[in-house]
C-alpha cells in the first residue's frame, strides 16, 4: 500500500495540474442559485466567443437564509484556522502541455477565473452525540471508492494510505473546525469524516463553485451507530471504582451498539471486580457479562478488538492477572492494540513483562486533595492542543489547567525516552495523572503500532457502580475530567505518530 502522505500529495498534485487546464467539468454546473449547503453563494455566468473560443466569467455574490430540509444552516464566518494538505512541490510553471487529463471528480474542480481554491468547504466535526467538537479528525473528498475497514487489530500508522485516493484532505483544529480548498463542485459530492477506525462517508447535496460552502453539521458528526458508518470494535472491562462504560453512552454511542460478544454491536462489556455484570432486562434480554478473565486469558480474544478499556476495580487484584495474561496484553499492544487503563489497572504496566515497568516510576501514596488543580503539559503539539481544546469546550477556565475530582497518586514521573506526560500536578505533590506510550516499547518509531493510556483519574465519577447497564448511567453532561478523557479516547483511536510531531491527515 502506498504511504498515506504520498497518496495525499499525489491527489493534490493532480488537482494543481487540473488548475492549469480549462475547466473540464460541465460549464452548466457553474451557474445557479441553490445554496442549501452554504451560507454564501456566488452566481457565475460564462460567455464563450464562438469564433475565438475565449470564455469570460462574471460572478455576483448572493446570500440566502433559506435552509434545506434536514440540514443546518449557519450564518457564522467559516473557520479558517485549519491544517489543509497541499502539494508543496507544485509551481506556477505547470502548464497544460505537461498536465495529465483530469479524472472523475477532479474534472469538477472549477477554475474560478484561474483560482480554483475559491471553492471551499468548511464545517465542524462533532462527537457522535452531536454537540462536542473534536480535534484531529480527518476530513477529505475521496477520488474513488473506499476500501472496507479491516476488522480486528491492525497496525495503523499515519504513514499508511487514506482509502479512496483523496483529492483534498484536512484536519480539524482545536475548535473542531476544518476547511477544504479546491473542492470539486456540483451535486452529490462525497465527503469522508474519520479518525482511526471511526469512519463516516456522506454525500453533500451540492457544492457551489467559486464560493465558501458550509457542510451541514449533522453530516460531519462521527457515527453513533453502524447504519451511519464504521465504529471501532471495543472491549470494556467494568470495575467497582469507575463506571467507565457510561462515558461511551455520553459521547453518543447508541445502546444498541452494546451487545454480548456473539451480538452485532461494536461494544462488548466484560465483568471486572465490583463492576456491572449484566445488561438491564430491556437490553439484550438482561444477558450477563462474560468475566474479564476470558478476555485477558487469550491473545486471540484481544485480537478481535481495536480498543480495550479497563475501568478501575478499586485495587490491583494481581492474583486475577497471571503472568501469561499480562504477556497477552503486551503482545496485543505490539500488534496495534489501543489500551486505556484506569487507576489500579496500572498493574498491567508496573507488574507487566519488561520493558513495560520502565515506562514510569510507580508509587502507592495517599490520594490527592479532592478536588485538585492539575496542569496540562503543553511542551509537545498534542499537549498544547489538549490545553486549547479544553478551553474551547468549557473543560478549563484557565489555559493549561483543569480541576480533577478523586485524583490518585500512583505515578511520580515518566520515562521520557518511552513515555509522554499529558496531565500532572505540582502541588501539593508532583504526580502524573495521564501518560501514554507506544508499543512495542523501545522499538523504532516507524515499527511501533500500539498505544497505551494510563490514567490516575476515576473518570466517570457520579454514576452508580455495579448496576445493570445502562441503569447506573445517571449523570448528564461531561465533567472536566470526562472531557479530558474524551480527547484522550479519540486521540487513542487516531493513527499512530510520534508525540513530538504535528499530526497529519490519517
C-alpha cell, 20: 492549469
Flag the least confident range among 67-81, 317-331, 450-464: 67-81
Q: Which residue has the higher pLDDT, 6 or 405?
A: 405
Q: Which residue has the higher pLDDT, 88 or 417?
A: 417
Please determine, looking at this structure, whether the domain spanning 4-220 carries the CATH number 2.60.40.10: yes
Q: If we measure between CA atoms, which residue out of 8, 482, 504 comes closest to residue 249?
A: 482
pLDDT band at 462 (very low <50, low <70, confident <90, very high): confident
Calpha distance 439→491 (Å, rounded):
15
Residue 418 has pLDDT above 90, yes or no: yes
Instruction: Tell me the DSSP string of 170-228.
Output: EE--TTSEEEEES---EEEEEEEEEETTEEEEEEEEEE-TTSEEE--GGGGBPPSSTTT
SS (H, E, C) 293-357: HHHHCCHHHHCCCCEEEECCCCCCCHHHCCHHHHHHHHHHHHHCCEEEEEHHHHHHHHCCCCCHH
Calpha distance 84→181 (Å, rounded):
8
**Mean pLDDT, range 335-344, rounded to an integer:** 97
pLDDT, tens only, 199-209: 999 999 999 99
% the chain with pLDDT above 70: 80
C-alpha cell, 155: 497496525
Residue 300 has pLDDT above 70, yes or no: yes
Residue 285 vs residues 226, 263, 267: alpha-carbon distances, Å: 21, 12, 16
Three-state DSSP at 455 gives strand
Find cell 481544546 and name the residue.
Answer: 389
Residue 468 vs residues 236, 248, 256, 267: alpha-carbon distances, Å: 15, 15, 15, 15
Q: Which residue has the higher pLDDT, 406 or 433?
A: 433
Calpha distance 235→310 (Å, rounded):
8
pTM of the predicted model over 0.85: no
Average pLDDT over all residues of the chain: 84
**Residue 421 burial (C-beta neighbours within 10 Å; 0-12, 13-18, 19+):** buried
Beta strands at 419-425 and 372-376: parallel, antiparallel or unpaired? antiparallel
Flag the least confident range among 91-95, 123-127, 204-208, 472-476: 91-95
Residue 61 has pLDDT above 70, yes or no: no
Domain edges within the chain? 4-220, 234-361+411-493
Q: If we measure between CA atoms, which residue out of 16, 19, 176, 2 comes closest to residue 86?
A: 16
pLDDT, tens only, 67-101: 333 333 333 333 333 334 333 333 333 333 466 78
186-195 sheet: strands from edge to edge: 83-84, 166-171, 138-142, 186-195, 198-207
Residue 380's pLDDT is 97
Q: Which residue has the higher pLDDT, 444 or 159?
A: 444
Rounded to 5 degrees, φ, ψ at 491 are -65, -40
Residue 438 vs residues 24, 418, 444, 452, 498: alpha-carbon distances, Å: 47, 7, 10, 6, 8
Residue 266 has pLDDT above 70, yes or no: yes
pLDDT, tens only, 224-258: 999 999 999 999 999 999 999 999 999 999 999 99
Amino acid at each position: 500500500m502506498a504511504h498515506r502522505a504520498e497518496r495525499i500529495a499525489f491527489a493534490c498534485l493532480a488537482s494543481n495540474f487540473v488548475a492549469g487546464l480549462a475547466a473540464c467539468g460541465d460549464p452548466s454546473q457553474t451557474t445557479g442559485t441553490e445554496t442549501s449547503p452554504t451560507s454564501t453563494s456566488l452566481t457565475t455566468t460564462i460567455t464563450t466567443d464562438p469564433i475565438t473560443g475565449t470564455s469570460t466569467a462574471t460572478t455576483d455574490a448572493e446570500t440566502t437564509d433559506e435552509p434545506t430540509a434536514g440540514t443546518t444552516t449557519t450564518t457564522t464566518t467559516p473557520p479558517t484556522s485549519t491544517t489543509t494538505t497541499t502539494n508543496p512541490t507544485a509551481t506556477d510553471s505547470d502548464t497544460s502541455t505537461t498536465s495529465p487529463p483530469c479524472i472523475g471528480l477532479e474534472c469538477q474542480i472549477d477554475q474560478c477565473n484561474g483560482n480554483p481554491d475559491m471553492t471551499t468547504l468548511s464545517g465542524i466535526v462533532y462527537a457522535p452525540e452531536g454537540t462536542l467538537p473534536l480535534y484531529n479528525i480527518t476530513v477529505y473528498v475521496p477520488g474513488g471508492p473506499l476500501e472496507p475497514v479491516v476488522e480486528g487489530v491492525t497496525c495503523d500508522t499515519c504513514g499508511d494510505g487514506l482509502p479512496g485516493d483523496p483529492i483534498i484532505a484536512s484536519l480539524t483544529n482545536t475548535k473542531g473546525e476544518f476547511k477544504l480548498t479546491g473542492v470539486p463542485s456540483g451535486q452529490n459530492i462525497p465527503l469522508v469524516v474519520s479518525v482511526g477506525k471511526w469512519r463516516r462517508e456522506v454525500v453533500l447535496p451540492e457544492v457551489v463553485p467559486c464560493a465558501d460552502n458550509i457542510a451541514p453539521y449533522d453530516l460531519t458528526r462521527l457515527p453513533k451507530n453502524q447504519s451511519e458508518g464504521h465504529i471501532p470494535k471495543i472491549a470494556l472491562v467494568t470495575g467497582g471504582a469507575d463506571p467507565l462504560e457510561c462515558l461511551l453512552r455520553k459521547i453518543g454511542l447508541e445502546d444498541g451498539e452494546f451487545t454480548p460478544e456473539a451480538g452485532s454491536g461494536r461494544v462488548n462489556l466484560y465483568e471486572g471486580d465490583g463492576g456491572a455484570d449484566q445488561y438491564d432486562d430491556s437490553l439484550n434480554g438482561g444477558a450477563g457479562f462474560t468475566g474479564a478473565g476470558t478476555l485477558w486469558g487469550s491473545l486471540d480474544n484481544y485480537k478481535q478488538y481495536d480498543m480495550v478499556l479497563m475501568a478501575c476495580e478499586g485495587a490491583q487484584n494481581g492474583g486475577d492477572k497471571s503472568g501469561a495474561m499480562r504477556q497477552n496484553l503486551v503482545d496485543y499492544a505490539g500488534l496495534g492494540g489501543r489500551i486505556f487503563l484506569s487507576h489500579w489497572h496500572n498493574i498491567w504496566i508496573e507488574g507487566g513483562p519488561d520493558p513495560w515497568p520502565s515506562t514510569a516510576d510507580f508509587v502507592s501514596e495517599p490520594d490527592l486533595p479532592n478536588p485538585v488543580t492539575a496542569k496540562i503539559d503543553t511542551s509537545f503539539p498534542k499537549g498544547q492542543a489538549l490545553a486549547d481544546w479544553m478551553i474551547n469546550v468549557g473543560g478549563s477556565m484557565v489555559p493549561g489547567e483543569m480541576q480533577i475530582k478523586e485524583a490518585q497518586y500512583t505515578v511520580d514521573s515518566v520515562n521520557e525516552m518511552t513515555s509522554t506526560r499529558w496531565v500532572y500536578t505540582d502541588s501539593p505533590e508532583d504526580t502524573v495523572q495521564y501518560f501514554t506510550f507506544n508499543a512495542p516499547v523501545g522499538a523504532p518509531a516507524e515499527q511501533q503500532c500500539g498505544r497505551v493510556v494510563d490514567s490516575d483519574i476515576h473518570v466517570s465519577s457520579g454514576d452508580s457502580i455495579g448496576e445493570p447497564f445502562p441503569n447506573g448511567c445517571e449523570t448528564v453532561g461531561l465533567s472536566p475530567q470526562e472531557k479530558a478523557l474524551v480527547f484522550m479516547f479519540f486521540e487513542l483511536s487516531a493513527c499512530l505518530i510520534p508525540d513530538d510531531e504535528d499530526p497529519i491527515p490519517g
